[in-house]
Structure 1
């Protein structure tokens, strides 16, 4: 092979490899057309999760008994903790103070260690899903 042709082929192949290895930036605009009801459904789902109507998770029970004492416990809890929501639940004949809505047992265990510093009788339970 002629050295001149060989050198031209070598240069051409080197340039081709160099050009093909370079990436070229691209820009694009993405438009998402979303039904307005999706936002409403997400808000409804959040509300149902807050009220534990969709939950299959765990909660921590701080107290059960009379309403006055349950309100005291709830105020004390809310004054100490803001990480986990708390509410009073009624189950005949007692009022219960429940804290948190945990997806896994390990999350509930971690929270319980913290909560038991102020509520020594607190324990984890898995409430039944409301129908």
Structure 2
């Protein structure tokens, strides 16, 4: 009888532990879902966000245009722009809606344009 009661106590302890573990996992899942929803609502409200660009070059005008020509020849599917902000010229690719999209493109072009970096644009 003693062995049977020990087994019952052990089974009851395991059942209680599993029920607490399941309840904790459910509350954590609910919290994560709420945070994701709050992030979506916040992103819709805040329109200041402008996306991402990849900057290939920052320097003088003639080199900026050369980098643009080289990039356009190697990767014609990606739009490039040249921006002048005194005193420097910038050659940039994009815009990209998400950081993930910009990072994936950066991985593609990084072998030919080693100094390229992802920049976040805010309007």
TM-score using structure 1 length: 0.55
**Greater radius of gyration (CA):** 1
> How is 1:38-117 mapped onto 2 (pairs within 5 angstroms)?
56-117=50-111
Report the Cα distance in structure 2 between the residues aligned to 1:111 and 1:120, rounded to whole angstroms: 13
* Unaligned ranges ≥5, structure 1: 1-53
SS in 1 for 2:111: coil
Report the Cα distance in structure 1 between the residues aligned to 2:120 and 2:109, rounded to whole angstroms: 17
Greater per-residue helix proportion: 2
Report the Cα distance in structure 2 between the residues aligned to 1:55 and 1:85, rounded to whole angstroms: 20
2:106/2:118 contact within 8 Å kept: yes
Count of aligned residue pairs for this structure pair: 76
2:50/2:120 contact within 8 Å kept: yes
* Unaligned ranges ≥5, structure 2: 1-47
The alignment's C-alpha RMSD in Å is 1.4
TM-score using structure 2 length: 0.59
1:84/1:101 contact within 8 Å kept: no
The runs of 4+ residues in structure 1 deviating greater than 6 Å are none
Greater per-residue strand proportion: 2
CA drift of 1:83 comes to 2.0
- The answer for the alignment partner of 1:28 in structure 2 is none
